[in-house]
Amino acid sequence: MSELTELTIKEAARLLRLRSISAADLVTAHVDRIQQLDRRVKAFLRFTPELWDKQADQADKRIKDGDPGPLVGIPMAVKDVLCVRGVETTAGSQILRGFKPPYTGTAMSRLFEAGAVMLGVTNCDEFAMGSSTENSGYHPTHNPWDLDRVPGGSSGGSAAAVAAGEAMIALGTDTGGSIRQPAALCGVVGMKPTYGRVSRYGLIAFASSLDQIGPFARCVDDAAITLAAMAGHDPLDATSSDRVGRDVLNNYGEGVEGMRLGVPREYYDVQGIESGVKAAIDQAIKSLRDAGAEIVDVSLPHTDYGLAAYYIIAPAECSSNLARFDGVRYGMFTEDAENITEAYMRTRRKGFGTEVRRRVMLGTYALSSGYYDAYYLKAQKVRTLIKRDFDEAFQKCDAIVSATSPTVAFPIGSKTQDPLSMYLCDVLTLGGNLAGLPGISVPCGMSEGLPVGLQVLAPQWGENVALRVARTYEESSGVKAEVAPLD
């Protein structure tokens, strides 16, 4: 029943309602697909058979009782930074090997309540730091469109699982592009909500002022349904907004007729953008114009400073957040240390991988006495300038469109020796995090046989606007996310 692994949520829900299939059938089809393919893709780190049995069983009971919820019985994968009680969660790091969270994060519990069925835990860059999933403390993940290439990152396992038909939807986190960039590179839809839209309770923190949880799916509707189910205020996250979660769907079915879409020249001509990516974006812009949108030039003049500001703020927050990994309350511990400082130092040296140590060092340096004003405070001021750039651009347009990533998926190993070249993968996405904006990446064709993603950014709380543009594009262009032809 391999076609069951190509369904969208709406199609699956219809078949479930008709009793043509059961939630258990849906799980079995995905587990079969995983068994057949995941040795090559390596999207998953762990599986949760005890959960999928129980949750599929509950879903079938709910369907029998007439529950019309769209997510009942939908198979879902969860990134390894999101806590589910009793399920080993390691943030892709050896330092957390064996850690079983004592509670379930809010986004996950809301999706479970909505009826989603968890298949397993997906691979990612260690502590979500990276753009290729090569920084995983376990193994790299392979792009389902070309197994010699990266799936992007940091949520590369989730993107690859959805692209490979191993899960219908997946959860990721996005701190500088970690949902949108792998979605682009794997040819699926990925959305980062407005900062504060989804509770971060139960998300293992990387950079707390930037992190957001969001969905991966194979169509815009599925991403919207998944986001709506987890959005909304949570008293357990003081930064979560009290806006109504379902607002993300307001007017979202309407087209783009009369909307103004801004094309920032700094993004359009960003350094290193591949000609094939540019051609696909040109085509997408044309398609949106044909659908009735007005295309306007806008400018984000501080784009060239975004990466620099981000690579102070994110490492600074990471160095603070990761101080808790000391080998005392959870995770790895080094035996035979003379004293507690030595125990901390040896545990952290051994447990953290190269990129995490690099960022902890960078962040600690930027926050250290004598350098705080020159680096951290300066970066926060530049963050203000970047946010103002977006505020001004949104005076002239309703949403911003650009490429998600300047390049298509790159070969495994090609950027690991040069951290700056890897960081540049996020140059078009991290502005959205610095300004707290919602952004979505939607497939917009291929270049050199590999997927290209179109990014739509909207003003804060404008998820409905971003979704509306993405959905109109999907509908009018006829470009749909497809399951990668792996068989």
- Footprint on residues 324-363 left by another protein (CB under 8 A): 326-333, 337-346, 348-349, 352, 357-358, 360-362
Residue of 177, 181, 176, 173 lying closest to 202 (CA atoms): 173
Q: DSSP readout, 243-263?
A: S-GGGGGTTTTS--TT-EEEE
Query: What's the min distance (Å) between Cβ of 92 and another protein?
Result: 17
- Verify binding: residue 422, another protein, rule CB under 8 A: no
365 binds another protein (CB under 8 A): yes
Is residue 154 flagged as an active site residue? yes
Binding mask 447-476 for another protein (x = CB under 8 A): -------------x----------------
What distance in Å separates the CA atoms of residue 410 and residue 282, rounded to the nearest whole number? 22
Tokens standing for 78? 């969860």
Q: Would you say 78 or 207 has its CB closer to another protein?
A: 207
Is 381 a binder of another protein (CB under 8 A)? yes
46 is a site residue for another protein (CB under 8 A): no
Site string for another protein, 95-124 (x = CB under 8 A): ---xxx-xx---------------------
Q: Which of 132, 178, 319, 402 is catalytic?
A: 178
The tokens for 431 are 């502005």
305 binds another protein (CB under 8 A): yes
Q: Between 429 and 448, how does the x/- string for binding to another protein read (CB under 8 A)?
A: -----xxx------------
The CA-CA-CA angle for residues 171, 386, 284, to 5°, reads: 60
Kindly give, in sequence order, each residue whose CB lies less than 8 Å from that of residue 451, ignoring residues fewer than 6 positions away: 145, 184, 185, 186, 187, 408, 409, 443, 445
CB of 117 closer than 8 Å to CB of 111: no
Judged by beta carbon, residue 279 or residue 345, the one nearer another protein is 345
Residue 377 CB, nearest distance to another protein (Å)?
Answer: 6
319 binds another protein (CB under 8 A): yes
In the sheet with 439-447, reading across from the earlier edge strand, the strands are 44-47, 117-122, 75-79, 169-174, 212-217, 189-192, 439-447, 450-457, 399-403, 260-264, 294-298
Site for another protein in 390-419 (CB under 8 A): 419
What's the CA gap between 207 and 212, in Å, rounded?
10
Residue 193 corresponds to which tokens in the numbers above? 């909500």
**Residue spans of alpha helices (H) in 164-302:** 180-186, 220-230, 265-268, 275-290
Choose the stretch contacting another protein; rule: CB under 8 A; options: 180-188, 248-256, 309-317, 399-407.
Answer: 309-317
Q: Which of 22, 131, 136, 154 is catalytic?
A: 154
Q: What minimum distance in Å lies between the beta carbon of 393 and another protein?
A: 16
The answer to whether 244 contacts another protein (rule: CB under 8 A) is no
